[in-house]
Amino acid sequence: MTASAETIERLKQAVGPDGFSDDVSELKPHLTEWRGKYRGCTPLMLKPRTTAEIAAILSICNETRTPVVPQGGNTGLVGAQVPFNGEILLYLGRMNGIRNIDVDDMTAIAEAGVVLGEFQRAISVSGAYFPLSLAAEGSATLGGNLSTNAGGTNVLRYGSARQLVLGVEVVLADGRVLDLLRVLHKDNTGYDLKQLFIGAEGTLGVITAAALKLFPKPVNRETAFVAVRDANAAVELLRLLQNETGGLISAFELLPRIGLELVLAHIPRTRDPLTTPSPWYVLVEAESASAIPLRAIVEQAFSAALHSGLVTDATLASSENQRGALWRLRESMSEAQKLEGASIKHDISIPVHAIPAFLAQGTAAVKALIPEVRPVSFGHIGDGNIHFNFSAPKGGSDPQFLSRWEEVSRIVHDITHGLGGSISAEHGIGVMKRDEIVRYKGATELDVMRTLKRSLDPNNILNPGKVLQI
């Protein structure tokens, strides 16, 4: 349903003269996601500054049956943040206040529009640490991170966004404010309602602020770039390092040789940290918040790994610049693959022990379909999350290759499901996987999800058509 002129005028009045835009040039970057895969349209972008303004907006939208799409940093990859059918765009970027940082309680309260990287820096200045970290942290916002249950590189030790939240403030579809903004580490007084909205992609309510867990600031951090012969060795190495370091491994990222070569070819000021090519690499990071001899512990662990044959070569960063250079290789992989040309991408999770079987089966199955395809599989294998991507064959037609996206994804998702995995590990469902989840989720689970949606948003105004068809 397109908003009437009267409704649009009421919404403009709710946010004031500087709280909206219908200027085509200002709207344009908010209507295309960064890969260019999804493009939308809207007659109006609202830019509220307060929870009260969002409450007024949703009250009007609910009354008039006007659909609305929340958006933060527009870094999502499944189309959840894009208004496809002329919905009102609710941009949360101006709700960017950090309301409180309490290092004694190790908690902070921040609004949905705070950019993740800026929040990390503010917490660091206070003497604490917020571990959620991902490649898009320079533009991704906290509200979007929670709405998609973002993962990132530190899930192995600290958990995903869901595990980092103590409380939320949410505006419901009818404009009521649900104040769950508690900083308690324990609260056993009934249903844990905050969890309904984390990972819901704005379909059940609009998260406006969150109370978040903080951690002691790491005083030691050791980062290594390691060559391994195959995925089996990588999984065994994870187990060995966790045991040898007493669980101090915070990141464990798998990279293929082809992925490294794409980065070296397309990303300036990058170099191969090892002298001899290897089929696979692992980027490992260990952290300690106390002054223990972490480097000696890590070196001893890698000595054991080299002795056992799990590692064929390795380099340990000796400065923050070297650490940054190693992480740049990993964090530039998606950009390098984009610069190389068309790619078909998947964000799946698999039980860690099943990763080698998945990589073997999935790669073989897609190559049987498209023999010259180039697999570029990388990601957070410490928590079972693989970005199972495929670049187009060299010299092939990009449009022809991309036309097979659904065909390839069905093969990959069937294998994922068969191994007890999930077709979305950290990117969410949006529109990209909305119809796919019907194939893999049970009827009762889907029925409960639809019941929640109808109960909290009976007029289906909140991000309609995302996650579920109602």
Residue 459 lies in a domain: no
Residue 73 has pLDDT above 70, yes or no: yes
Pair 208, 238 in one domain: no
Residue 160 has pLDDT above 90, yes or no: yes
Write the burial class of residue 75 (CB in 10 Å: 0-12 exposed, 13-18 middle, 19+ buried). Answer: buried
Task: Give the end of a domain, one of 334, 353, 382.
Answer: 334
- Total Cβ atoms within 10 A of residue 331: 20
89, 405, 357, 163 alpha-carbon torsion, rounded to 10°: 0
Residue 460 lies in a domain: no
Longest dimension (CA), the chain: 74
| pLDDT digits 0-9 by tens, 231-286 | 999 999 999 999 999 999 999 999 999 999 999 999 999 999 999 999 999 999 99
Tokens at 110, concatenated:
């921040």
CATH code, 231: 3.30.70.2190
Pair 127, 171 in one domain: yes
Signed CA dihedral, 413, 417, 421, 425: sign only:
positive
Distance CA 365, CA 362 (A): 5
Residue 427 lies in a domain: yes
Pair 409, 424 in one domain: yes
Model confidence at 1, in pLDDT bands (50, 70, 90)? low
Average pLDDT over residues 171-190: 96
Split into its structural domains, the chain has a count of: 4
| pLDDT digits 0-9 by tens, 46-71 | 999 999 999 999 999 999 999 999 99
The region, left, alpha or beta by phi > 0 then psi within -120 to 50, assigned to residue 420 is: left
| pLDDT digits 0-9 by tens, 77-134 | 899 999 999 999 999 999 999 999 999 999 999 999 999 999 999 999 999 999 999 9
Write the burial class of residue 64 (CB in 10 Å: 0-12 exposed, 13-18 middle, 19+ buried). Answer: middle
Pair 224, 202 in one domain: no
| pLDDT digits 0-9 by tens, 336-372 | 999 999 999 999 999 999 999 999 999 999 999 999 9
List 388's β-bridge partners, or say none: 377
Pair 157, 195 in one domain: yes
Average pLDDT over residues 146-160: 95
CB neighbours of 22 closer than 8 A, spacing ≥ 6?
A: 43, 44, 45
Pair 207, 274 in one domain: no
- Angle formed by the axes of helices 355-369 and 231-245, nearest 10°: 160
Residue 222 has pLDDT above 90, yes or no: yes
Pair 226, 329 in one domain: yes
Residue 461 lies in a domain: no
CA-based nearest residue to 384, from 347, 345, 355, 416: 355
List 71's β-bridge partners, or say none: 91
Residue 44 lies in a domain: yes
- Total Cβ atoms within 10 A of residue 258: 17
Pair 280, 308 in one domain: yes
CB neighbours of 463 closer than 8 A, spacing ≥ 6?
A: 67, 68, 69, 70, 80, 201, 202, 203
Give yes or no for a contact between 144 and 75, defined as CB atoms under 8 angstroms apart: yes
Residue 362 lies in a domain: yes
Task: Give the end of a domain, one of 280, 299, 334.
Answer: 334
Pair 138, 231 in one domain: no
List 83's β-bridge partners, or say none: none
Residue 205 has pLDDT above 80, yes or no: yes
Give yes or no for a contact between 11 and 57, defined as CB atoms under 8 angstroms apart: yes
Residue 297 belongs to domain spanning:
220-334
Distance CA 95, CA 51 (A): 8
Model confidence at 34, in pLDDT bands (50, 70, 90)? confident
Pair 316, 368 in one domain: no
Q: How many CA atoms lie within 13 A of 121 on its CB side?
A: 7
Residue 458 lies in a domain: no
C-alpha distance from residue 15 to each of 56, 87, 282, 324 (Å)? 9, 17, 49, 42
Pair 87, 103 in one domain: no
CATH code, 189: 3.30.465.10
Task: Give the end of a domain, one of 164, 190, 216.
Answer: 216
Q: What is the mean pLDDT of the chain?
A: 96
Distance CA 97, CA 204 (A): 23
CB neighbours of 234 closer than 8 A, spacing ≥ 6?
A: 228, 254, 280, 282, 355, 381
Pair 349, 325 in one domain: no
C-alpha distance from residue 293 to each of 131, 290, 445 (Å)? 22, 9, 48
CATH code, 410: 3.30.70.2740
Residue 452 lies in a domain: no
Q: What is the pLDDT of residue 406?
A: 95
Q: What share of the chain has pLDDT > 70, as a percent?
A: 100
CATH code, 60: 3.30.43.10
| pLDDT digits 0-9 by tens, 282-309 | 999 999 988 899 999 999 999 999 999 9
Q: What is the pLDDT of residue 36?
A: 80
C-alpha distance from residue 459 to each of 70, 90, 430 (Å)? 16, 17, 19
| pLDDT digits 0-9 by tens, 437-448 | 999 999 999 999
Distance CA 161, CA 109 (A): 14
Q: What is the pLDDT of residue 203?
A: 98
- With tokens 């191969």, the residue in question is 272
Chain centre distance of CA 420 = 21
